[in-house]
Amino acid sequence: MTVLEQPGAYRPTPPPAWRPRLDPAPLLPDPEPVRLLGTPAAADLDPGLLTRLYRELVRGRRYNAQATALTKQGRLAVYPSSTGQEACQVAAAMVLEERDWLFPSYRDTLAAVVRGLDPAQALTLLRGDWHNGYDPREYRVAPLCTPLATQLPHAVGLAHAARLKGDDVVALAMVGDGGTSEGDFHEALNFAAVWQAPVVFLVQNNGFAISVPLAKQTAAPSLAHKAVGYGMPGRLVDGNDAAAVHQVLGEAVRRAREGGGPTLVEAVTYRLDAHTNADDATRYRAEEELTAWRAHDPIDLMEAELKGRDLIDEDGMAAAREAAEDMARALRDRMNDDPVLEPMELFEHVYAEKTGQLREQAAQLRAELDAESQEGER
């Protein structure tokens, strides 16, 4: 059996030859992160796009708040919030076409939801009832990944395979600033550049890897600068400016789709919540820093732009908040159901067919469960 949907139809085509570029200048990021909101350049932005981004930002903020609340009620084992980083999450999901793939890290549940996942399904891993609550092929969203940066080579391999197949599919892979120190990050970037794979790497530089600040993570001028050494462009963008992230990622996706190869995008942002609900952020960061970043909130930036251009009124904002409330309510309802787990499923999906060892162990558990239920009846 082959896992290819149409094995007969597959004729791998060699990717075009690639020659090293000797001039690094076009690969270098601009020293200042790209910003659009609040600048004259914003006048050219599509109003429809801006309002869509705004609605998703508002919904995303509510989603983060609701998920965090669910940890307090014991409905969710853990939640790594992306509050403050919603612009990156929303833009990452919105630049992709349906046939593209998203490779999220554990913090990127919101991106997966914006991509179309049921909010409750996206939380399965974090709830603890199964490792992955959705079919990755259905949504073109890889399983949320907890080992840092290990999903990046997967994105490269998938994008490479898609191109061999002749599909114009792009993979967008998300990683944190801490994750850029891992070996897999470097191997993935290098493979992507050498293969000219249609991949976009999005680093959400939110200032910290749990407690460790960027200064202790890297001595590079910026994380985007790392791209140059691999032979791909690096782009630096204001990660709280949803329009700018959308534009920079959009360009990178377009370039990748047209055969121009990978891009590394660093979005400079800030995590306003703690690392997870279980973390005490006061131990490693100062209140002043938070205050400064609160003044640069992604929702406020977008709201100011929309109001300034008369693209939204009080009713429009209220409608966005209401849609967010609906999502939160539905999520709460879903998460209030006690998950029903089938213990015998432990032995499913380890291999395509159970080994003799697994069949024996399944029989043992079956017997234990039967004994338990008989005891329960007595």
Partner 1 sequence: MTTAAVETARKPATMAQALGRALRDAMAEDPAVHVLGEDVGTLGGVFRITDGLAKEFGDHRCTDTPLAEAGILGTAVGMAMYGLRPVVEMQFDAFAYPAFEQLISHVSRMRNRTRGALPMPITVRVPYGGGIGGVEHHSDSSEAYYMATPGLHVVTPATVADAYGMLREAIASDDPVVFLEPKRLYWSKADWSADRPEPVAPIGRAVVRRPATGQGSPVSLITYGPSLPVCMEAAEAARAEGWDLEVVDLRSLVPFDDETVCASVRRTGRALVVHESPGFGGPGGEIAARITERCFHHLEAPVLRVAGFDIPYPPPMVERHHLPGVDRVLDAVARLQWESEWTEGSAD
Active site residue 284: yes
Measured at CB, which residue is nearest to ligand TPP?
176
Active site residue 275: yes
Give the contacts of 211 (CB within 8 A, at least 6 positions apart). Answer: 275, 283, 284
Q: How is 169-223 classified by DSSP, letter by letter?
A: --EEEEEETGGGGSHHHHHHHHHHHHHT-SEEEEEEE-SEETTEEGGGT--SS-S
Q: How far apart are CA 172 and CA 39, in angstroms?
A: 27
Active site residue 21: no
Question: What's the N-to-C CA distance of the chain in angstroms?
Answer: 48
Reduced DSSP (H G I as helix, E B as strand, rest coil) percent helix, strand, coil of the chain, to 5: 50, 10, 40
Q: Shortest approach of partner 1 to residue 16 CB, angstroms?
A: 11
Q: Shortest approach of partner 1 to residue 350 CB, angstroms?
A: 5
| Residues in 217-256 at the binding interface with ligand TPP, rule: CB under 6 A | none
Q: Shortest approach of partner 1 to residue 173 CB, angstroms?
A: 10
From 13-21, 204-212, 220-228, 364-372, span contacting ligand TPP (CB under 6 A): 204-212
Measured over all CA atoms, what is the biggest interatomic distance in the chain, rounded to whole angstroms?
80
Which of the following is catalytic: 140, 163, 246, 271? 271
Contacting residues toward partner 1, per CB under 8 A: 1-5, 7, 10-15, 130-132, 135-138, 142-143, 147, 150, 152-162, 164-165, 171, 183-184, 186-188, 190-191, 194, 348-352, 355-357
Contacts 24+ apart (CB under 8 A), 348-355: none
What's the full length of the chain, in residues?
378
Q: How far apart are CA 202 and CA 249, in angstroms?
A: 8
Q: Shortest approach of partner 1 to residue 115 CB, angstroms?
A: 16
Give the contacts of 285 (CB within 8 A, at least 6 positions apart). Answer: 207, 208
How many residues make contact with ligand TPP (CB under 6 A)?
13
Tell me which of ligand TPP, partner 1, none is bound by residue 326, counting a contact when its beta carbon lies within the kind-specific cut-off of 5 to 8 angstroms. Answer: none
The 3-state DSSP class for residue 344 equals helix
Tell me which of ligand TPP, partner 1, none is bound by residue 70, counting a contact when its beta carbon lies within the kind-specific cut-off of 5 to 8 angstroms. Answer: none
Give the contacts of 277 (CB within 8 A, at least 6 positions apart). Answer: 68, 71, 72, 78, 79, 81
Q: How far apart are CA 187 and CA 153, in angstroms?
A: 7
Which of the following is catalytic: 35, 254, 257, 284? 284
Tell me which of partner 1, ligand TPP, none is bound by residue 209, counting a contact when its beta carbon lies within the kind-specific cut-off of 5 to 8 angstroms. Answer: ligand TPP
| Residues in 131-150 at the binding interface with ligand TPP, rule: CB under 6 A | 146-148
Among 179, 233, 261, 298, binds ligand TPP (CB under 6 A): 179
CB nearer ligand TPP, residue 182 or residue 300:
182
CB nearer ligand TPP, residue 120 or residue 274:
274
Which spans of this chain sit near ligand TPP (rule: CB under 6 A)? 107, 146-148, 176-179, 206, 208-210, 275
Catalytic residues: 271, 275, 284
